[in-house]
Structure 1
């Protein structure tokens, strides 16, 4: 276990001469990261996330040319609260267990209902659903709830063993929090991670530049319970009441 070193030290154990100026400059306290390799810092961050029960992920990611923007708090039990913006539009979701509430704009619902309905039927549903909280029927609830079921996969990804070729860059801050900055380069892209220097060494930010799948995500609210308070009842539409 590493410990912080004292911020102050005495330059000599000799007794000072009477009348002498005995002011001793304060030495800069060293952080435990300062005695570690980049790989050791990276490993500490991956260890810290293994017992995390919840977090919030915000930012943008791209896969196979499809960009997704996310601001989603979710936990190991499958609960979530936040928004996901993909090619269909923005979906707001609150989920606790099998109970799901969703809200989206007309583009999202039009893309949803364009499959299996006539244009007239789809537009009627779009009119009912647009910008209203919906308590979806079971099949739709399960489909929408899939957005919240990836917490285990995220933990597995964040705690995976490092490749061993990371280098440490100059420290930086993420939302005012000091971080150690590590980069890992390949011939096609550069991955940069920002690891908290205060409290637990959580991963606070990750970026990938270059290549085909850019990414810029921040990680906050570690172990903070997800707010699954449902919308007010008078704002919720139950689709089963529709013809």
Structure 2
């Protein structure tokens, strides 16, 4: 399971009885508008975590824009790695435990490669399914909204605050026993401010913020980078 897929929370829609905010609009309509507004945004900061079937937790804390410029951290199994995507190149810098976790199915490879990765930015294939998804804003949102039925049949709830911004809460219980919640900004653009999933196999939440802020990751110095293809191919970095 990819990091991006593991962190996706459901979105969703039913008319509610509240007159404001979004007066006269059904929860279906509000959810659809929230997804559309979030897709149109030039950039967003994503922060959250999700528990996997094996009990481990994956985390994300990244800023990403429409051009796939990206910077922040991702984590799994209690270890974190810095991630950057700039100039069509994906870079990852993890500690020893991160790489041991990432290469746990290849112990022989791990013993050879991990010492060479310490303190280095690893140039990854730009389409690497494990990490590239978190640096693809449009892909992330599209995957989150892949099943349109997730945002049908939701109920309007009360308003609350998400990072100091007022949000309308939409909720839905699924046949699998999950409770999905979507928090939508009530002022300005109806951006998604948070999604949560409670119960089921992958509970977690993702907070969305810092919309339309510039994302300008710096390219790591050449002397601090290594090429994953060269290392895995047995060549010297």
User: How many Å apart are 1:218 and its aligned residue?
Assistant: 0.4
Find the residue that maps to 1:36 and give its secondary structure: coil
Equivalents in 2 of 1:147, 1:83: separation in Å?
13
Equivalents in 2 of 1:100, 1:158: separation in Å?
22
Cα distance per residue 1:126-162 (max 9 Å; x no partner): 34432x24253x65x6547524454333222455545
For 1:25, the equivalent position in structure 2 comes to none
For 1:33, the equivalent position in structure 2 comes to 22
The yes-or-no answer on 1:171 pairing with 2:139 is no
CA spacing shift, 1:213–1:135, aligned 2, 3 Å: closer
Equivalents in 1 of 2:142, 2:222: separation in Å?
40
The yes-or-no answer on 1:151 pairing with 2:173 is no
CA spacing shift, 1:217–1:103, aligned 2, 3 Å: same
Find the residue that maps to 2:64 and give its secondary structure: strand
The yes-or-no answer on 1:197 pairing with 2:186 is yes
For 1:75, the equivalent position in structure 2 comes to 65
CA spacing shift, 1:40–1:71, aligned 2, 3 Å: same
Map 1:208-219 → 2, pairs under 5 A: 208-219=197-208
CA spacing shift, 1:206–1:142, aligned 2, 3 Å: closer
Q: Whose Rg is larger?
A: 1
User: How many Å apart are 1:111 and its aligned residue?
Assistant: 4.2
For 2:82, the equivalent position in structure 1 comes to 92
Find the residue that maps to 1:201 and give its secondary structure: coil
Cα distance per residue 1:22-43 (max 9 Å; x no partner): xxxxxxxx85513322222222
8 Å Cα contact 2:77/2:101 also seen in 1? no
The yes-or-no answer on 1:134 pairing with 2:121 is yes
8 Å Cα contact 2:134/2:140 also seen in 1? no
Find the residue that maps to 2:171 and give its secondary structure: strand
For 1:45, the equivalent position in structure 2 comes to 34
8 Å Cα contact 1:47/1:159 also seen in 2? no
User: How many Å apart are 1:234 and its aligned residue?
Assistant: 8.8
Higher relative contact order (CA 8 A, sep 6+): 2
Coordinate RMSD, CA, aligned: 3.1
Find the residue that maps to 2:158 and give its secondary structure: coil
